[in-house]
Structure 1
Amino acid sequence: MSRVRTVLGDLPPEELGVCDAHDHLFLSSPQLAGQELDDTGAARAELAAFRAAGGAAVVQWTPHGMGRRAADLPELSRTTGVRLVCATGLHQAAHYAPELLDRLRGRLAGLFVSELTDGIGTSGVRAGLIKVAGGFHALDAHARWTMTAAAEAHHATGAPIAVHLELGTGALDVLDLLCGELGVPGDRVILGHLNRFPDPVVQREAAGSGCWLAFDGPSRAHHATDWRLPQAVRDLADAGFGDRLLLGGDTVVAGARSVDGGPGMPYLLRRVRPRLEAALGAELVRRVLTEHPGRAFAVDWK
């Protein structure tokens, strides 16, 4: 029977509730020096604000080696009442010291499998998804390495693979590799940041593979986000792909948290939800926020 693997254990997908399908409570990278998400108190307050707005679950896409602080997640989930899903995986090479990547050569798939089944370090927290990343309109050697390892870990566990698309590009190349060459079923792939490169032809072709289309990172004026989102998702729904949609906040720097003066996680429910309800109807938006994440992240764990 399929279950969503949260930091407090596996649960039926219908119990996930209103879900931010892509966000971060903790994240650090040399690319974001001085803007790290590393404050447990702020993470707790942000979850409480999301809960007060009607949220029930958050999927943290922070992968291995980027300060995901897995050991802190169970207590945060218990104290706020928000269900949390943690990731394994590996981001683009620029986010890591070269020596760390060298240590992972030849053992990356095994690391992913271990974090999905045995737990992350000594935390006891098991990951519920694998996060990897493409490049700008292309897949470099690092992306192919990490995606090949992710596919191997998927075949061993059934875990879904969530993909950061750089500025929303490269979706079809990712699907050619994961679903074509590496044999991952389309419905086990989640493409993130499609709103940042709003090509309706690419979005419909990607949806035709059966994958999940994540529209995440609203409130960012430098991306084609909020103002194009209603039309993009309505067009996909009209084309028969309304059942492939996910929504997320993707808070990646401290100043973006609502408790630090930014839009944060509550923005997804406070501003994005009513705008989409006006365009799509309340029932489809309800399914996008509740039923779809349950299906996307549920696994018949092997």
Structure 2
Amino acid sequence: MTGLIRTVRGDIEPGSLGICNAHDHLFMRSPQLPGQELDDAHAALTDLDSFAALGGGAVVQWTPWGMGQRLDQLPELSRRAGVHIVAATGLHQAKHYDATELAGVYDDLAALFVHQLTAGPVRAGLIKVAGAFHHLDEHTRHTLAAAAEAHHATGAPIGVHLEGGTAGLAVLDKLAGTHGVPPDRIILGHMHRFPDSAIHRQVAAAGAFIGFEGPSRAHHAADWRLMDIITALVDNGHSDRILLGGDTVTAPARSTGDGPGMSFLLHTLRPRIERELGSETATAIFTTNPSHAFAVEWTK
């Protein structure tokens, strides 16, 4: 593997990443989740410590610009927990922002993304944007174009929140087909929420990474399908395209609340994958695949 992974404490070799929680949140706020903010640094450290105690080596925080990233606090959390942290820039759906705040950056998103990827003492290593439910609305098309421009300026990978797991093929076509982003620089998140294995296979065959996250308190109806979905991809030769994350988005879902927290990935999900699909598949999903997905030949 080539390139470097940009963490909040500097760039590292891909082989140093370790076992990775490829999609989670240490801090986050949204007007869509009033009173459930992830804003407690002690709770974030507790979750990181529990993950590290089970062998976890890295966490990718998908919290984009304007949603309480707290970039300045991430290096110290990383140091104290002994866990690499990759931060995100980017923009979520418009409903997650104050309209006035959003208007101030909307026309120059690519510059904002590039700045957070390349400037300042704490740099992001991922661009996170979002789709709409079963389609690409105007906001999605605008942010995908900005993400692609920032990718071409820096090399950074693009992670996409798929609403309800939908519109993955449309997002992939827009980023790769229209904007020329290499598929292996694209991560399509939440695809297990729309458990159509034929679509998953098409995305994997195109070369993009597929993100499965959970268990999710908001979308737990899809959790019981997760192993079948993973198995279908593995059986079709796509074990190298799968990423797994915890996606803790509210304070009650943390290990300091009523859980399960990010440690679930390692005390429950990884052992099951090892039993049912083998240790090589588990290593690919938790270690090898993230080291490829987030490694970049940075141009800035």
The two structures have a TM-score, normalised by structure 1, of 0.96
Residue 283 (structure 1) aligned with residue 284 (structure 2): no
C-alpha displacement of 1:167:
0.8
Structure 1 residues 112-127: aligned runs within 5 Å: 112-119=113-120, 124-127=121-124
Q: Is the contact between residue 216 and residue 248 of structure 2 (CA under 8 Å) also seen in structure 1?
A: no
The one-letter code of the counterpart of 1:23 is: D
Find the counterpart in structure 2 of residue 77 from structure 1: 78
Cα distance in 1 for partners of 2:169, 2:192 equals 15
C-alpha displacement of 1:224:
4.1
The two structures have a TM-score, normalised by structure 2, of 0.97
Q: Is the contact between residue 46 and residue 258 of structure 1 (CA under 8 Å) also seen in structure 2?
A: yes
Percent identity among equivalent residues?
A: 59
Find the counterpart in structure 2 of residue 247 from structure 1: 244
Find the counterpart in structure 1 of residue 32 from structure 2: 31
Find the counterpart in structure 2 of residue 145 from structure 1: 142
C-alpha displacement of 1:223:
3.4
C-alpha displacement of 1:276:
1.5
Q: Is the contact between residue 217 and residue 248 of structure 1 (CA under 8 Å) also seen in structure 2?
A: yes
Cα distance in 1 for partners of 2:119, 2:64 equals 16
SS at 1:67's partner residue?
A: coil
Cα distance in 2 for partners of 1:152, 1:2 equals 20
Q: Is the contact between residue 113 and residue 127 of structure 2 (CA under 8 Å) also seen in structure 1?
A: yes
**Cα offsets for 1:29-79 (capped at 9, x unmatched):** 000010000001111111111111221110000000000100000000111
C-alpha displacement of 1:221:
7.7
Residue 297 (structure 1) aligned with residue 282 (structure 2): no
Q: Is the contact between residue 218 and residue 249 of structure 1 (CA under 8 Å) also seen in structure 2?
A: yes
SS at 1:64's partner residue?
A: coil
Q: Is the contact between residue 226 and residue 272 of structure 1 (CA under 8 Å) also seen in structure 2?
A: no
Structure 1 residues 87-166: aligned runs within 5 Å: 87-119=88-120, 124-166=121-163
Report which stretch shifted further, 218-227 or 140-149.
Answer: 218-227
Report which stretch shifted further, 192-201 or 227-236.
Answer: 227-236
Cα distance in 1 for partners of 2:276, 2:161 equals 26
Q: Is the contact between residue 7 and residue 84 of structure 2 (CA under 8 Å) also seen in structure 1?
A: yes
The one-letter code of the counterpart of 2:111 is: G
Find the counterpart in structure 2 of residue 17 from structure 1: 18
The one-letter code of the counterpart of 1:11 is: I
Residue 215 (structure 1) aligned with residue 216 (structure 2): no
**Displacement over 3 Å in runs of 4+:** 219-226
Structure 1 residues 176-255: aligned runs within 5 Å: 176-220=173-217, 222-255=219-252
Q: Is the contact between residue 219 and residue 263 of structure 1 (CA under 8 Å) also seen in structure 2?
A: no
Find the counterpart in structure 1 of residue 65 from structure 2: 64
Cα distance in 2 for partners of 1:287, 1:178 equals 25
SS at 1:237's partner residue?
A: helix
SS at 2:172's partner residue?
A: helix
C-alpha displacement of 1:283:
1.4
5+ residue gaps, structure 2: none
The one-letter code of the counterpart of 1:278 is: R
SS at 2:104's partner residue?
A: helix
Question: Which one of the candidate residues 241, 253, 269 is aligned to 2:266?
Answer: 269
Q: Is the contact between residue 198 and residue 224 of structure 1 (CA under 8 Å) also seen in structure 2?
A: no
C-alpha displacement of 1:134:
0.2
Cα distance in 2 for partners of 1:101, 1:141 equals 15
Q: Is the contact between residue 258 and residue 265 of structure 1 (CA under 8 Å) also seen in structure 2?
A: yes
Report which stretch shifted further, 152-161 or 257-266.
Answer: 257-266
Cα distance in 1 for partners of 2:203, 2:240 equals 13
SS at 2:47's partner residue?
A: helix
C-alpha displacement of 1:279:
2.2
Change (3 A) 1:225 1:273: farther
SS at 1:115's partner residue?
A: helix
Aligned residues: 298
Q: Is the contact between residue 193 and residue 219 of structure 2 (CA under 8 Å) also seen in structure 1?
A: no
Change (3 A) 1:125 1:99: same
5+ residue gaps, structure 1: none
Change (3 A) 1:242 1:66: same
Cα distance in 1 for partners of 2:25, 2:291 equals 18
C-alpha displacement of 1:105:
2.9
